[in-house]
């Protein structure tokens, strides 16, 4: 155009900005904005909003806000789309309060928010678990004459379900239908998932029936939620029936579906079926993730099949899955429970040379195993190592070492560790008190036990079955 002597106008250059933004070349888009200003052209609301939108999409929210302020200072009045873009960006980074503040400024500037604006803030409140604030915005938008849509209702229903407020969620569902806003697959999946997590699978089956009667076909998420509900109740046969029904209806299971069923079989100790599903998943072209491996490794460890569990652990590396902290903890715990302390220590030390460093859970597994096997010296060394590694012991680890010291009759040392808890910023909890009190009583040191019982009662803690509450 320029070679032909045609000068691009603001519309041409705004289109070019939009093209560069779609290509995620915001740098080139800004160079065009500089050209606009250099040519003495006035950027329009479309020019600014396009750039703001793409800055938000690539996570450059501070720059988006700067550009927004620059736009206002240049006398370019933001429209509903500009405001909503910024509000959406703020909500994505968890700045719901700032988004709500901008909503207020928007109204004060005479720009009427639309259903997308309100729904964005409602959903952000829902994610922050502030469902009452979300409901307040919902009521306010209706007062303003803005009709909620399916997205608004889905956010609120999910928020209410998260707090088991079934009555309120049901009322919203009925309100939707009275307004001829038909629930979609998202609405039903929210209901099915939440009801299943509450252990009410029969009610969830009722929701499934309703959705099919309304012509909404269940998808992989619906089936997986129901399978999870059955697995929670150890009804793996029913979960398998749903799995087969899903395939029959042409709904292809994903890794999440397989993981649910593998976990269900592991829970009821039917490890052969779990292994079969694991292999079937690979045969179907799906790549097992860390959850798949961790679930099966845990199931094998529970049955004492440590060699097989360890082989699967090594296969993770071969297949490009790096074991995470949970994987190491599962295998470490399996070795310790079977008394393979040498293997446990080798695994623990091998882990230290990898990208993952042992955490408190792993130290606690080893310290507990050493104490139970009478290797108090090794337990003490591990406990001291925590401080060298810069890890702060928690109440659970302190209680474990205190229990080990008490069993060996080292009561003074146990009491010293108990008193150190407060100094180290993790005051003794109810379990800590019960453990040390039982230790003193076991070794006939009733005077110190009575003193500790008094302390425990002053803190509002309760003695457990094995601890007297005099």
| Percentage of residues in the chain having pLDDT higher than 70 | 99
* Residue 431 belongs to some domain of the structure: yes
Residues 29, 21 contacting (CB under 8 angstroms): yes
pLDDT tens by residue, 161-220: 888 888 888 899 889 989 999 999 999 999 899 889 888 898 888 888 888 888 899 999
pLDDT tens by residue, 132-160: 999 999 999 999 999 999 999 999 999 99
pLDDT tens by residue, 460-470: 888 775 665 54
- ∠ CA 111-112-115, nearest 5°, is 140
- Per-residue pLDDT, 469: 52
What mean pLDDT is reported for the chain?
90
- Per-residue pLDDT, 352: 79
* CA-based nearest residue to 55, from 24, 13, 99: 24
* Residue 427 belongs to some domain of the structure: yes
* CA-based nearest residue to 421, from 405, 401, 439: 401
* CA-based nearest residue to 121, from 155, 144, 158: 155
* Residue 458 belongs to some domain of the structure: yes
Over residues 218-228, the mean pLDDT reads 94
pLDDT tens by residue, 432-468: 999 999 999 999 999 999 999 999 999 888 877 566 5
d(CA 273, CA 281): 12
Gyration radius (Cα) of the chain, Å:
30
Residues 405, 414 contacting (CB under 8 angstroms): yes
SS3 231: helix
Residues 332, 348 contacting (CB under 8 angstroms): yes
* Residue 272 belongs to some domain of the structure: no
* CA-based nearest residue to 414, from 390, 442, 388: 442
d(CA 318, CA 176): 51
* Residue 211 belongs to some domain of the structure: no
Would you tell me how many other CB atoms lie within 10 Å of the CB of residue 151?
16
* Residue 158 belongs to some domain of the structure: no
Q: Which residues contact 150 (CB under 8 A, 6 or more apart)?
A: 176, 181, 182, 183, 184, 186, 187
| E strand or H helix at 435 | helix 430-442
Give the total number of structural domains in the chain: 1
The pair phi, psi for residue 79, each rounded to 5°, is: -105, -175
Residues 208, 226 contacting (CB under 8 angstroms): yes
pLDDT tens by residue, 274-326: 999 999 999 999 999 999 999 999 999 999 999 999 999 999 878 778 889 99
SS3 119: helix
d(CA 51, CA 67): 8
* Residue 81 belongs to some domain of the structure: no
pLDDT tens by residue, 386-421: 988 888 999 999 999 999 999 999 999 999 999 999
Q: Which residues contact 453 (CB under 8 A, 6 or more apart)?
A: 437, 463, 467, 468, 469, 470
d(CA 24, CA 375): 60
- Per-residue pLDDT, 65: 85
* CATH code at position 448: 1.25.40.10
Residues 417, 399 contacting (CB under 8 angstroms): no
Over residues 57-77, the mean pLDDT reads 85
- Per-residue pLDDT, 277: 96
d(CA 253, CA 284): 10
d(CA 133, CA 146): 17
d(CA 451, CA 207): 57
**Which of 220-234, 267-281, 354-368 is predicted least confidently?**
354-368
| Tokens matching residue 72 | 């206002």
* Residue 403 belongs to some domain of the structure: yes
Confidence check: pLDDT of 19 > 80: yes
Report how far Cα 351 is from the mean position of its chain's Cα atoms. Answer: 25
Q: Which domain range does residue 454 map to?
A: 362-470
Q: Which long-range contacts (CB under 8 A, 24 or more apart) does 163-171 make?
A: 163/129, 163/131, 164/194, 164/198, 165/131
pLDDT tens by residue, 86-139: 899 889 888 999 999 999 999 998 999 999 999 999 999 999 999 999 999 999
- Per-residue pLDDT, 198: 85
- Per-residue pLDDT, 231: 92
E-only strand ranges, 7-92: none
Confidence check: pLDDT of 63 > 90: no
Residues 309, 343 contacting (CB under 8 angstroms): no
Over residues 254-279, the mean pLDDT reads 96
The pair phi, psi for residue 347, each rounded to 5°, is: -65, -40
DSSP 8-state secondary structure symbol assigned to residue 356: S
| Tokens matching residue 406 | 């008490």
Q: Which residues contact 422 (CB under 8 A, 6 or more apart)?
A: 428
């Amino acid at each position: 155009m320029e070679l032909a002597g045609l000068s691009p106008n603001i519309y041409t250059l705004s289109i070019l900005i939009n093209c560069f933004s779609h290509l995620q070349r915001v740098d080139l888009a800004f160079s065009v904005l500089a050209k606009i200003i250099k040519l003495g052209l006035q950027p329009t609301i479309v020019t600014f909003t396009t750039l703001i939108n793409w800055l938000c999409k690539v996570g450059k929210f501070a720059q988006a806000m700067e550009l927004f302020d620059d736009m206002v200072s240049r006398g370019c009045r933001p429209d509903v789309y500009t405001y909503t873009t910024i509000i959406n960006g703020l909500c994505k980074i968890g700045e719901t309060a700032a988004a709500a503040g901008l909503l207020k400024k928007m109204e004060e500037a005479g720009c009427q928010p639309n259903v997308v604006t309100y729904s964005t803030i409602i959903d952000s409140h829902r994610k922050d678990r502030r469902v009452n604030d979300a409901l307040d915005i919902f009521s306010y938008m209706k007062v303003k004459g803005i009709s909620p849509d399916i997205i608004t209702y889905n956010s609120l229903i999910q928020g209410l379900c998260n707090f088991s407020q079934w009555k309120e969620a049901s009322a919203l569902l009925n309100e939707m239908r009275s307004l001829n806003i038909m629930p979609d697959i998202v609405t039903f999946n929210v209901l099915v998932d939440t009801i299943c997590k509450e252990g009410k699978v029969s009610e969830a089956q009722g929701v499934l029936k309703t959705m099919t009667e309304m012509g909404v076909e269940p998808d992989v998420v619906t089936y997986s939620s129901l399978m999870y509900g059955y697995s929670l109740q150890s009804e793996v046969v029913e979960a398998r029936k749903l799995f087969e029904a899903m395939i029959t209806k042409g709904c292809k299971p994903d890794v999440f579906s397989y993981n649910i069923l593998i976990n269900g079989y592991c829970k009821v100790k039917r490890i052969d079926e779990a292994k079969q599903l694991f292999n079937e998943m690979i045969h179907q072209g799906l790549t097992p993730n860390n959850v798949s491996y961790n679930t099966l490794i845990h199931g094998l460890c529970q049955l004492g099949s440590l060699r097989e569990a360890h082989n699967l652990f090594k296969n993770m590396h071969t297949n490009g899955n790096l074991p995470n902290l949970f994987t190491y903890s599962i295998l470490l715990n399996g070795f310790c429970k079977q008394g393979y302390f040498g293997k446990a220590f080798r695994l623990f030390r091998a882990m230290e040379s990898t990208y993952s460093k042992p955490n408190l859970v792993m130290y606690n597994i080893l310290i507990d195993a050493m104490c139970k096997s009478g290797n108090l010296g090794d337990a003490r060394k591990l406990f001291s190592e925590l401080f060298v590694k810069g890890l702060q012991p928690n109440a659970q680890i302190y209680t474990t070492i205190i229990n080990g010291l008490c069993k060996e009759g080292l009561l003074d040392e146990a009491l010293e560790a108990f008193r150190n808890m407060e100094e180290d910023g993790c005051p003794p909890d109810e379990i800590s008190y019960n453990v040390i009190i039982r230790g003193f009583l076991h070794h006939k040191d009733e005077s110190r036990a009575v003193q500790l019982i008094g302390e425990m009662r002053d803190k509002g803690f309760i003695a457990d079955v094995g601890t007297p509450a005099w």
